[in-house]
Amino acid sequence: MKAAGFTLVELVVTIGILAIVSAVAAPRFFQASTFESRGRYDNAAAIVRLAQKTAVAWRRPVYVCVTATTVSAGTAAGCGTTLQYPVSAAAATVTMAGGVTLNPFEISFDGLGRPSAGATIIFTSSIAGDPARQISIAAETGYVSAN
C-alpha cells in the first residue's frame, strides 16, 4: 500500500524556493515608484509619437516641449495650445514622477513628420532600482524610438 503525500525533503525544498522568490520579487511589488516612472516614460513616448502623427495628418507644424519635469505637445511654439488625445480628449502632457528629471528643449515636426533637429529626451532618475531611460528622435526621418 502506497501512502499519498509529500516527503519532508520536498516540503523543505518548496518552502526554500518560495522564500527565495519572495525575497527577490516582493520589494519590486512594494516599490510602486519604479512602475509609476516607467508608466510616465511610456506616456512621454506616446506624446512624442502623437505629435509627429498629428503634424503629418494636419500638414502643419506640431511642437514637443520638454521641461525639467514635463513633456507636452502643442500646435504653437512653447506648446501654449496643447494637443489632445483623439479618444479621451485629455491634454497631451505628462508630468514625471518625483525623482525623475529631463533635459529641457523644444522641437517641432513639420507637415511631413520630420523634426526640426534630432533630439534625445534623457530621463535621469534618483529612484532606487529605476534604470536610466531615453527617447530618441531621428534627425532625418523623425522616427521615435523608446528603449
Q: What percent of the chain has pLDDT over 90?
A: 59
Q: What is the mean pLDDT of the chain?
A: 89
Please indicate, yes or no, if residue 93 is contained in any of the structural domains: yes
- Domain assignment of residue 84, given as a range: 33-146
Please tell me which of 2-11, 66-75, 92-101 the model is most confident about, judged by mean pLDDT. 66-75
Q: Tens digits of per-residue pLDDT, 55-76?
A: 999 999 999 999 999 999 999 8
Task: Check residue 147 and give its pLDDT.
Answer: 78
Please indicate, yes or no, if residue 9 is contained in any of the structural domains: no
The single residue listed with the C-alpha cell 523634426 is 115
Alpha-carbon gap, residue 121 to 46, rounded angstroms:
13
Range of weakest confidence among 11-15, 48-52, 64-68, 83-87: 83-87
Residue 120: closest CA among 104, 106, 109, 134: 134
Q: Tens digits of per-residue pLDDT, 26-56?
A: 766 666 777 888 889 999 999 999 999 999 9
Check whether 1 has a pLDDT greater than 70.
no
Please indicate, yes or no, if residue 16 is contained in any of the structural domains: no
Q: Which three cell numbers stand for residue 7?
A: 516527503
Count of domains forming the chain: 1
Please indicate, yes or no, if residue 53 is contained in any of the structural domains: yes
Please indicate, yes or no, if residue 3 is contained in any of the structural domains: no
Q: What is the CATH number of the domain that holds 75?
A: 3.55.40.10
Please indicate, yes or no, if residue 117 is contained in any of the structural domains: yes
Task: Check residue 52 and give its pLDDT.
Answer: 94
Answer for the pair 111, 58: CB distance below 8 angstroms, yes or no: yes
What's the average model confidence in pLDDT over 104-119? 93
In this prediction, residue 80 has a pLDDT band, given cuts at 50, 70 and 90, of confident
Please indicate, yes or no, if residue 73 is contained in any of the structural domains: yes
Please indicate, yes or no, if residue 21 is contained in any of the structural domains: no
What's the average model confidence in pLDDT over 117-128? 88
